[in-house]
Amino acid sequence: MTTVVSGLDDGQLARRIKPAAPAWIKVEDKGILSIHQQVISRNYRISLSTSDNRHFVLHIRNVQESDRGGYMCQINTSPMMSQVGYLDVLGEFDACTNGSSMTMYNHSSHFPLRGVGKKSEAAYTCSFLGPTTL
């Protein structure tokens, strides 16, 4: 869903949209991983990236069994919006199999995630398409 304000051109709209501030949370232990663009977790394998303040990506390097589980992206809208996805760790990743040990999963129509092998990188994308706060 995208919110459009009549009577404003794109430049005016861009200046009036309040930036979204996502938070990433590990569902099982309710651990806060990040708030906005700041990683809170002491896990050095976690990093963040974003594009155009609408696509927020949580990266986990060197995936481990303990990373398995749910991840929630919360966006500071009113009311709050959230998406939950699940990471499944499949086992050791064998580069000689040309990635055949990696299996695609889609646990939610809003938040597609993939199952990854250990030693791979998991990337979780949370796309915020609206509504926007003016």
pLDDT per residue over 60-78, tens digit each? Answer: 888 888 888 888 888 877 7
Hey, is 69 helix, strand or coil? Answer: strand
Total structural domains within the chain? 1
Q: Would residue 2 count as lying in a domain?
A: no
Q: Residue 91: in which H helix or E strand, if any?
A: strand 89-92
Q: Would residue 5 count as lying in a domain?
A: no
- Answer for the pair 123, 117: CB distance below 8 angstroms, yes or no: no
Q: Would residue 120 count as lying in a domain?
A: yes
| CATH code: domain of residue 107 | 2.60.40.10
Higher pLDDT, 82 or 134: 82
Higher pLDDT, 65 or 92: 65
pTM recorded for the entire structure = 0.60
Higher pLDDT, 131 or 52: 52
Q: Would residue 4 count as lying in a domain?
A: no
pLDDT per residue over 2-60, tens digit each? Answer: 333 344 444 333 334 456 678 899 999 999 999 988 899 998 888 888 777 677 788 88
Q: Would residue 134 count as lying in a domain?
A: no
pLDDT category, 122, cuts 50, 70, 90?
Answer: low
Q: Would residue 39 count as lying in a domain?
A: yes
> Nearest CA to 22 among 60, 1, 48, 59?
48
Tell me: pLDDT of 120 over 70: no
Q: Would residue 132 count as lying in a domain?
A: no
Q: Would residue 88 count as lying in a domain?
A: yes
Domain ranges, residue 69: 10-127
Predicted confidence at residue 13, as pLDDT, reads: 38
